[in-house]
Amino acid sequence: AKRWTRRKEVELENDLREGRPLESRSLTFAMVTDRMSEGLNYRDTCTMVALTEHFGEKCMADIKAKEWGEFARTRGRRDKHGTVVSPAKASTIDRYLYVFRSVFREAKADGIALPVIESPRSAQVRRREQRVRWLAADDAARLVATYNARVQPIATVLRYQGLRAQECLQLDRRQIDMKARTIFVGQSKNGFARTVSMHDKTHAAILPLMSEDRDIWEFADGSDLEP
């Protein structure tokens, strides 16, 4: 049985590599995420790893809303025994759901349908009778363009790097490697340091600010961001 399973895995991997169509029932979650391993930022990569660890060998066709609910219940703060004692916030589950949906969009050509799963944040907002603010890429670009020219680099970094506002505003020139195109975050919310790949848009936005000997968000005339 093990030899047969391994042989089928090799056959499926070869099909993926050569672009041959697969039977959707044989397509696992890990096979799809393997296609998407390039070009993800640090935050999305961590999210993808957590999803793959949970759903990895499950067939995509068998993953429904119930299976997603089981995963969502595993997210949150744990005690020393590994038991979830504080469930993850809606915003955190929403980030997982965004990447989860992107995996199904990647498998759409293989005949895999996206399960109908409601965003927890959207549900909360509707309960408060507030409007959900989701921007399309064009709308986000126009919004960034409306900022003052001195603030646009900050808005660009926030949009493309997935940094928290405080992490972005505390960036130091020494944390930015323009040659390697990486940003080092020394102090994050969870207390861990990390290095993230720099998006091309970020590189273009902060390149002019790195040409002089000053802090990343300090300007040539010595002024700050206050009006």
* 94 within 8 A of 121, measured Cβ to Cβ: yes
Residue with tokens 């506002």: 165
| pLDDT tens per residue, range 164-216 | 888 888 888 888 988 889 999 887 776 778 888 899 999 999 888 876 655 66
| pLDDT tens per residue, range 64-117 | 999 999 999 999 888 888 888 888 888 888 889 989 999 998 888 878 888 888
How far is residue 109's CA from residue 19's CA, in Å, rounded to a whole number?
11
Q: Which two tokens stand for residue 108?
A: 């759409």
| pLDDT tens per residue, range 48-61 | 999 999 998 888 88
- Tell me: pLDDT of 37 over 50: yes
How far is residue 80's CA from residue 84's CA, in Å, rounded to a whole number?
10
* 116 within 8 A of 65, measured Cβ to Cβ: yes
Give rounded-to-5 percent helix, strand, coil for the chain.
50, 10, 40
Report the pLDDT value the prediction gives residue 100, as an integer from 0 to 100. Answer: 92
User: Phi then psi for 152, rounded to 5 degrees?
Assistant: -55, -40
Residue with tokens 């273009």: 204
Residue 43 banded pLDDT, cuts 50, 70, 90: confident
Residue 226 banded pLDDT, cuts 50, 70, 90: very low
Average pLDDT, the chain: 80
Residue 16 banded pLDDT, cuts 50, 70, 90: low
pTM greater than the 0.95 cutoff:
no
Residue with tokens 């469930």: 87
CB atoms near residue 90 (< 10 Å): 15
Report the pLDDT value the prediction gives residue 15, as an integer from 0 to 100. Answer: 63
* 88 within 8 A of 72, measured Cβ to Cβ: yes
Distance of CA 133 to the CA centre of its chain: 18
How far is residue 31's CA from residue 180's CA, in Å, rounded to a whole number?
29
